[in-house]
Amino acid sequence: MPSKSNYHHGDLRRALLAAAEEELSEKGVETFSLRCVAKRAGVSHGAPAHHFGDAQGLLTELAASGYQRFIETQEQFQRNASKEPTAQLSAAGLGYIEFAKQNPALFRLMFSSERPDRTAPILSEYADAAFTKLVEDIRHISEADPYSDQSAMTDVMAAWAIAHGLADLMIAGRWERIPFLAAMTPAQIDAVFSDIILRACKQES
């Protein structure tokens, strides 16, 4: 294992976050500790506390970094989609689901766990950025400001609930109740999910 002396300050911080994510993925949040993270990273027991204070501080920063990657995944899907507003919303939703599939433990830490400090500025900043992105995606469809238009904000809430619900069901392995999905290709499943996501913003004729 590398010793603390092998790391520059920034590299050590990143190494500790990577080790924390591995620990979280393998063992869950219930037994998460700074000592286990330090051992996994190959550094002194005091190194994580020096950078993050305590386990909550480390989990808080890990959740914040998760939101950064979450937004990046959504944006990557959007770059590969049509620029039409509904296609962009659908792509963001698919990115939401893909992030959850690839990072289930981190996803649960970000959205479900009580361990992070949700009042911490770094976590509030990136969580707010993720919500603001959704608001902007809906704004481009509705051409109204969701913060002042109740119908547009209802679309925000519906799109969020649908994407999050699909992601949560996916990582919980609950799709066995939907047998036709098992016979579909990934592209076909994405098409089904896109249709479900866009139902949030379909207007009554």
What is the residue extent of each domain of the chain?
A: 1-53, 63-201
pTM for this predicted structure: 0.89
The stretch 106-122 carries a mean pLDDT of 96
Question: For the segment 154-203, what is each residue's pLDDT rounded down to a tens digit?
Answer: 999 999 999 999 999 989 888 777 878 878 888 998 999 999 998 877 65
Cβ–Cβ < 8 Å for 197, 98: no
Ramachandran sector of residue 202 (left: φ over 0; alpha: ψ -120 to 50; beta: rest): beta
Tally of CB atoms within 10 A around 66:
26
Q: 154, exposed or middle or buried, with CB in 10 Å at 0-12, 13-18, 19+?
A: middle
Element (H or E) spanning 116, and its range? none
Compute the average pLDDT of residues 95-102.
97
Write down the pLDDT at residue 181.
80
Q: What is the mean pLDDT of the chain?
A: 90
d(CA 20, CA 33) in angstroms, rounded, equals: 9
Confidence at residue 126, expressed as pLDDT on a 0 to 100 scale? 97
Query: From CA 157, how far away is CA 135, in angstroms rounded?
Result: 9
Q: How confident is the model at residue 6 (pLDDT cuts 50, 70, 90)?
A: low
Q: What percent of the chain has pLDDT over 70?
A: 93
Domains 1-53 and 63-201 are alike in CATH topology = no
Class of domain 63-201: mainly alpha
Determine what percent of the chain is predicted with pLDDT higher than 90. 75
Q: Could you tell me how far CA 41 lies from the centroid of its own chain?
A: 24
Report whether pLDDT(84) > 60. Answer: yes
- Residue 205 reports pLDDT greater than 70: no
Tokens (6 digits) for 169: 């069901």
Residue 43 and residue 165: Cα distance in Å, rounded?
39
- Segment 90-119 mean pLDDT: 96
Is the CB of residue 42 less than 8 Å from the CB of residue 1?
Answer: yes
Select from 2.40.340.10, 1.10.10.60, 3.20.10.10, 3.40.640.10 the CATH code of 1-53: 1.10.10.60
Q: What's residue 182's pLDDT?
A: 77
